[in-house]
Amino acid sequence: MIGILGGGQLGRMLALAGYPLGLSFRFLDPSPEACAGQVGALVVGDFLDEEALSRFAEGLDLITYEFENVPVEAARRLEGRLPLYPPAKALEVAQDRLREKTFFQGLGVPTPPFHPVEGPEDLEEGLKRVGLPALLKTRRGGYDGKGQALARTPKEAEKALRALGGKGLILEGFVPFDREVSLLAVRGRAGEVAFYPLVENRHRGGILRLSLAPAPGASEALQKKAEAYALRAMEALDYVGVLSLEFFQVGEELLFNEMAPRVHNSGHWTIEGAETSQFENHLRAVLGLPLGSTAPRGQSAMVNLIGEKPPFAEVLKVEGAHLHWYGKAVRPGRKVGHITLRRDGLKALEEGLARLSRLVSELPWEGV
């Protein structure tokens, strides 16, 4: 039995990918309404509650996690009892934006300029080094655009400093990028690796709305560059499982933005759009099984459903559309499902996306 820390939709999709392999699952989540509980055993409890951790761990063969804000202390406690993949060290890096940027910079991976901020003096020094415009972010927590503010002037930077608590921050130079892309990589227990094609990601309001896979027009050189950066990170962390790296693309250069030590939203297209999904490959990796092919099946688009439930029948009328509903209550700003559109060519994909754009609000589709 595999234990999964977290009971959201990523855990749910891991379990759905694992059942054909004869696997069983148990989740640990603080919420009794965690949607993964609909497809597997759910232990409800705080991640640092020793009694809950013990109930969760009993009888498990190994543990993985489905989101990167699991307390490192909980991961360390469990790592002492059972195999835990990816390693807790990866959580430590991913949970602190300053540590994350420093780690990748140390690997020789280009990043935007950044500076730690613990008060007004640091902010002043950071603005000199980083320049304006700049993004001021909390070092910990925050996702989907939360915990950050764009500053175009020194006054706006000072206002952002106060709004974000005045310390525990990182100032990053704003990058005028061409587009945002991500790479999903997977590394097995024996060190074998595989890479999915680069994916183009489009956001609205800081939330991922649309992924295009493979990223249209991405060169082989750009793909190889991203793979080399991911390989350095995985080897340095002795990583096992799926790792997602997000980049800003500027011409043929990639600037590292952030990592996620888990299966990732920008990889949901792989369920229908690749020979082996990211979820199955993560399970194969942590179990020491042979990795599956990451080859794409034609062209795919993944459309996030954020706080809305479109008419299912109309969605399914679109040729090549596959609907995934997570079993969550619909609330504003909440990821409640996704649609994967898979077609054999880019023109057919564009036609399908044009139809979906009339069914899903906030879909950033203006063509490739």
Residue 343's pLDDT band (boundaries 50, 70, 90)? very high
Q: Residue 99 falls within a domain, yes or no?
A: no
Read off the pLDDT of residues 234-285 as tens digits, 9 standing for 90 and up: 999 999 999 999 999 999 999 999 999 999 999 999 999 999 999 999 999 9
Q: Per-residue pLDDT averaged across 328-335, rounded?
A: 94
User: How confident is the model at residue 124, as a pLDDT?
Assistant: 92
Q: Is 7 annotated in some ligand binding site?
A: no
- Binding residue per annotation — 131? no
Residues 247 and 320 in one domain: yes
Residue 207, pLDDT above cutoff 70: yes
137 annotated to bind ligand: yes
Range of the structural domain that residue 75 is part of: 2-84
Res 364: pLDDT: 76
User: Is 225 a domain residue?
Assistant: yes
> For residue 25, is pLDDT > 80?
yes
Question: CA-CA-CA-CA torsion for 242, 248, 254, 260, nearest 10 degrees?
Answer: -20
pLDDT at residue 292, as a whole number: 98
User: What percent of the chain lies above the pLDDT cut of 70?
Assistant: 98
Q: Say what percent of the chain tops pLDDT 90.
A: 93
What's the Cα-to-Cα distance from 264 to each of 117, 186, 249, 267, rounded to whole Å? 29, 12, 19, 5
Residue 289, pLDDT > 90, answer: yes
278-287 helix and 9-18 helix, angle to the nearest 10 degrees: 70
Residue 123 confidence (pLDDT): 93
Q: 103 CB contacts (<8 Å, ≥6 apart)? A: 93, 233, 236
238 marked as binding residue: no
Question: Domain boundary at 138, 154, 173, which?
Answer: 173
Average pLDDT over residues 346-362: 94
203, 310: one domain: yes
**Annotated binding residue at 264?**
no
Residue 47 lies in a domain: yes
293 and 203 share a domain? yes
C-alpha 31/C-alpha 329 separation (Å) is 13
Q: Is 206 annotated as a binding residue?
A: no
Establish whether 314 is an annotated binding residue. no
Q: How many domains does the chain have?
A: 3
214-235 pLDDT tens trace: 999 999 999 999 999 999 999 9
Q: Give the domain CATH number at 56.
A: 3.40.50.20
- Binding site annotation covers 320? no
Query: pTM, whole model, 2 decimals?
Result: 0.95
> What are the CA-CA distances from residue 116 to residues 8, 130, 165, 167 (Å)?
32, 11, 14, 9
Q: Is 209 marked as a binding-site residue? A: no
Q: What integer best gives the mean pLDDT of the chain? A: 95
Q: Which domain CATH number covers 244?
A: 3.30.470.20
Which residue, of 153, 173, 193, is where some domain finishes? 173
Both tokens of residue 130? 């980083």
At residue 368, does pLDDT exceed 70? Answer: no
145 annotated ligand binder? yes
Whole-number pLDDT of residue 156:
93
pLDDT, tens digit, for every residue of 64-117? 999 888 999 999 999 989 999 999 999 999 999 999 999 999 999 999 999 999
Determine if residue 247 is labeled as part of a ligand binding site: no
Does residue 124 sit in the same domain as residue 10?
Answer: no
Does some domain include residue 102?
no
- Residue 97 assigned to a binding site: yes
Same domain flag for 185 and 276: yes
Same domain, 149 and 279: no
> Does 166 lie in the same domain as 196?
no
Same domain, 11 and 58: yes
Whether residue 266 sits in one domain with residue 325: yes
The pLDDT of residue 146 is above 90: no
- The answer to whether residue 98 is domain-embedded is no
- Quick: pLDDT tens for 54-68: 999 999 999 999 988
Last residue of a domain, one of 66, 84, 102: 84
Residue range 107-131: mean pLDDT, rounded: 95
Question: Domain check: are 253 and 308 in the same one?
Answer: yes
